[in-house]
Structure 1
Amino acid sequence: MPWTELRITTDSTHAEALSDALFALGALSVSIEDAAAGTQDEQPIFGEPGEPVDQMWAHSVVVAHLDEDMDPALTAAAAANAAGIGVPRYETVTVQEQDWVRLTQAQFEPIRISQRLWITPTWHTAPDPDAINIVLDPGLAFGTGSHPTTRLCLQWLDAHLHRDERVLDYGCGSGILAIAASKLGAGATHGVDIDPQAMLASRQNAEQNGVGIGFFLPDAAPAGEYDVVIANILTNPLKALAPMLAGRVRPGGRIALSGILAEQETEIRAHYAQWFSLADSAQEEGWICLWGTRHG
């Protein structure tokens, strides 16, 4: 059965109100997209981990999938009325019935991280069976290896982690960095995140990969220092957590930080310089991974 997709062009002020109104009117699903997606004006927006996104695209498209009994014109008018605006510009698109599971899976191919490290979904055969393959499907928590910050951290682990080192992955998301560290030969490895869904996803992913890793909410995390602490978060939480993260690294141990935009590197360097001698950074698509050694 084909679906009708209603696409309403609006601004950041009214996008959420229109979205709420469409849900209340019975839309099967509603999402908000960047009206400039796919162009040079596309604007990525990110919220801090565990917090809602606090901004919206200046020019947005509210996308609603409608039940076959819903009239698009009447629905658009009713939603606009509920949002307190005049009827905005909209269009409708007919979406044919598809095997959505197969379609979604087709979008996630194995990802080569380095010469010896791959991220492979469960429905794919490992491209290089002799490599270190992390079996990971897209799921509830952030981190499948497709984002530059995750790839940078994985590449850093592959290049710098020593066998049997104790590792803490702070802000572990899907557990991918902790799992990679374990498969690369780390010793005791732990992951911490503020999101209970991340705990669930990380534990399932670790079991799927046959590695024993402890995952904890912050208040339940074991005390102690680590040889390596890796944190792929964002700049503001990295600044707020700096004293705690520094205290988790043994003297002479190393820290790797990511989720940092290139223009924020100087700020993070200055913030961590009191605890670490910071080395060079790696950059990909405007994001950086920065690492250093704890002062003795």
Structure 2
Amino acid sequence: MPWLRISMDCARADVEPLLQFLDRLGADSVSIVARGDGALYSDDPAAPEYWRQSRLQALFPIDAEPDILIACLRNRLGTARAESLCIDELDDQDWSLSGRIGLEPLLFGEQLSICPSWVAAPPDRRVLTLDPGLGFGTGSHPTTALCLDWLSARDLRGSVLVDYGCGSGILGLSAVLLGAAEAWLVDIDAQALEACRVNAERNLLLDRVRFLSPGAAPDRPADLLVANILLNPLLDLAPHFSRLVRPGASLALSGLLATQAGDCLAAYDPWFSMGSMTFRNEWALVQGRRRSAASAD
């Protein structure tokens, strides 16, 4: 299936705001490639590194309205910076090749690495092979990195984990690599579940994952749940999440701006004992434990 590709140049400081804006416009995926000097740079050691000048390439469904998208981006970028905007059609094979520039293995905790298939895997790591594609999640976005750091810091051996809004399956598959007995991958998007299936098969993990629609009722409660989505669905899903996990189960929620974390904590407090928050740039992860049935329900 062809896709609508919109490309634009931007400075390092504009990458994160533009990624958020493109997501709100409905981009299915965005790649970042270097322009000019290939050196990565960041003022803050804790912040993601980007090139001083980058080119963003965003994919939209072929039936998107290009005039509206371009108008929104021109308004967001301003007249001078909008001169770099261009739009064309791209098929899936071209997209997979264009995303290879500048990608390196990503490391999380002491054990985990997320690595594209064409890059040599780092030694002495549990490696999840994951290529950029149409399922959201390659580990580079701060919220995904927050979730992967959270998983890497836990003893997952023998546990069952729910990855709700799984996208590419990166969180659930990583959990299995780190010792979880099983991951339940949940998404409303059939294309995302198919991407999960492909990624699970490539990493020889297919026998340790289950693919579920949001309305499915598992036959037993899980030990952990992680969801990297957006604030409004997280608020709506709090009662449902409480039914998916056992008392004492661990919970991690991201996809949140730091300014939204308080609202999320309050929404989950009736069912979960909410604990500390973790931040990366303007993004947050909140965590908690499922209260006992007697105290919560």
**Which secondary structure state, in structure 1, belongs to the residue aligned with residue 226 of structure 2?**
strand
My pick for the range that moved more, 105-114 or 137-146, is 105-114
Seen in structure 2, the aligned counterparts of structure 1 residues 30 and 187 have a Cα distance that, compared at 3 Å, is: closer
Query: Once the two structures are superposed, what CA deviation does each residue of 1:203-228 show, in whole Å capped at 9, x if it has no partner?
Result: 01011111121112223453431110
1:47 has 2:24 as partner:
yes
Contact 1:32 1:63 (8 Å CA) reproduced: yes
Seen in structure 2, the aligned counterparts of structure 1 residues 271 and 217 have a Cα distance that, compared at 3 Å, is: same
Match of 1:267 in 2: 263
Match of 2:87 in 1: 64
Q: Which amino acid aligns with 2:86?
A: V
Q: Which amino acid aligns with 1:47?
A: R
Seen in structure 2, the aligned counterparts of structure 1 residues 112 and 228 have a Cα distance that, compared at 3 Å, is: same
Match of 2:185 in 1: 191
Seen in structure 2, the aligned counterparts of structure 1 residues 293 and 121 have a Cα distance that, compared at 3 Å, is: same
Given candidates 1, 5, 11, the residue that maps to 1:38 is 11
Contact 1:50 1:194 (8 Å CA) reproduced: no
Given candidates 201, 207, 215, the residue that maps to 2:201 is 207
Query: Once the two structures are superposed, what CA deviation does each residue of 1:182-201 show, in whole Å capped at 9, x if it has no partner?
Result: 11111222100000111110
Match of 2:243 in 1: 247
Residue 47 of structure 1: CA displacement? 3.4
Contact 1:167 1:226 (8 Å CA) reproduced: yes
Residue 59 of structure 1: CA displacement? 3.0
Residue 100 of structure 1: CA displacement? 8.2
**Which secondary structure state, in structure 2, belongs to the residue aligned with residue 251 of structure 1?**
strand
Match of 2:112 in 1: 117
Residue 65 of structure 1: CA displacement? 5.0
Contact 2:109 2:153 (8 Å CA) reproduced: no
Unmatched 5+ residue regions in structure 1? Answer: 1-27, 67-98
Given candidates 86, 104, 107, the residue that maps to 2:102 is 107
Seen in structure 2, the aligned counterparts of structure 1 residues 170 and 49 have a Cα distance that, compared at 3 Å, is: farther
**Which secondary structure state, in structure 2, belongs to the residue aligned with residue 125 of structure 1?**
coil
**For residues 215 and 48 of structure 1, what CA distance do their matches in structure 2 show?**
28
Q: Whose Rg is larger?
A: 1
Query: Once the two structures are superposed, what CA deviation does each residue of 1:212-258 show, in whole Å capped at 9, x if it has no partner?
Result: 21112223453431110111101111011111011112111111101
Match of 2:158 in 1: 164
**For residues 291 and 4 of structure 2, what CA distance do their matches in structure 1 show?**
52
Seen in structure 2, the aligned counterparts of structure 1 residues 110 and 200 have a Cα distance that, compared at 3 Å, is: same
Contact 1:48 1:234 (8 Å CA) reproduced: no
Contact 2:226 2:252 (8 Å CA) reproduced: yes
Contact 1:145 1:151 (8 Å CA) reproduced: yes
Given candidates 285, 288, 295, the residue that maps to 1:292 is 288
Residue 158 of structure 1: CA displacement? 1.0
Unmatched 5+ residue regions in structure 2? Answer: 29-59, 293-297
Q: How many residues align?
A: 234
Contact 1:192 1:221 (8 Å CA) reproduced: no
**Which secondary structure state, in structure 2, belongs to the residue aligned with residue 219 of structure 1?**
coil
**For residues 163 and 102 of structure 2, what CA distance do their matches in structure 1 show?**
27
Seen in structure 2, the aligned counterparts of structure 1 residues 203 and 295 have a Cα distance that, compared at 3 Å, is: same
CA RMSD of aligned residues (A): 2.9
Identity of aligned residues (%): 40
Under a length normalisation based on structure 2, what TM-score does the superposition of the two structures give?
Answer: 0.71
